Chain A
Amino acid sequence: MIDGFTIVLVAVATLVGLLCVVLGLVGRKPADVTILAVVLVEALVVAQVVIALVAPAVGNQPTGSLGLFWIYLGAAAVIPPAAIIWALADRSRWSTVVLGVGALAIAVMVFRMSEIWNVPLA
């Protein structure tokens, strides 16, 4: 993983998550802003997939378990699309909250992924 990129991804997912949760709670239905924000999160997760595929080949090796890392990344990659499909199918304010929950889950999972990739060696 690339630390700078991880920080950007966690920060963006957190902001998008909070934005969607707040907008949903004040009664906004899913709109371009919220859906595109979650599309942005997904784009960053896909970029993380590419980084994780390339990194070991260019000498950026994980010190933790690569298998566990990929379980997290695989799950993270399907959550934003699932949330977006949900928002398109059910156009209520609660779907905006669901978009936010999905984005916040990405933030937590990517943070955990960085811990799994960078296990401090004793």
Chain B
Amino acid sequence: MSSRGSSGPGRVLVAVYAVLAIGASGRSVFQIVDRFREAPVAFTLSALAAVIYIVATLALALSMRRNGMNQQSWDRVAWVTIGFELVGVLVVGTLSVVSPGVLGLQSVDPFGRQATVWSLYGAGYLGIPLVLPILGLFWLDRRRRESAA
């Protein structure tokens, strides 16, 4: 492994976040434009997830810049957005299985026309929405301990 600290693998994290942000934004914009009334709650959550992914991508990237401006603030934003994602995927994922009706969904199908990024714990996105925030929090924690040391 590289001995240059943890900023290296963190860059891959930023890339994966960027791809997920693009995917989530595209899908939610399409759902809202095409069929918002079918499941307004679920599609609003989809849009919220997309915004969170975009902010988390930016916050991760900006908190990594050497001598960057407001590095600490961006680090805090990264903690908050990535933490929110983990809560979001767990809560919405569980709701989508236990009582899809609460979200206004008629089915659990993660590939269906009403699926959101977080349906069935992100199964429609290869489970990445569940794994990514866990990796993200681990990485933020590792970076914090390294900079404290």
Instruction: Please list the residues of chain A having a beta carbon within 8 angstroms of any beta carbon in chain B.
Output: 27, 65, 67-68, 71-72, 75, 79, 82-83, 86, 90, 92-95, 97-98, 101-102, 105, 108-109, 115
Contacts and interface: CB of A to CB of B under 8 A. Distances in A.
B30 A101 contact: no
Given A98-B15, A102-B19, A93 B8 contact: yes
Contacts of B16: 101
Contacts of B30: 65, 67-68, 71
Contact of B26 (A75, A82, A94, A105): A75
12 contacts: A71-B30, A75-B22, A75-B26, A79-B19, A86-B15, A93-B2, A97-B15, A98-B12, A101-B16, A101-B19, A108-B126, A109-B23
B146 interface: no
B11 interface: yes
- Kindly list the 9 A-B residue pairs having the minimum CB-CB distance in the complex, ordered from nearest: A98-B15, A71-B26, A94-B8, A105-B19, A94-B11, A97-B12, A75-B22, A101-B15, A68-B30
A contact patch SS: helix
A86 B61 CA distance: 12
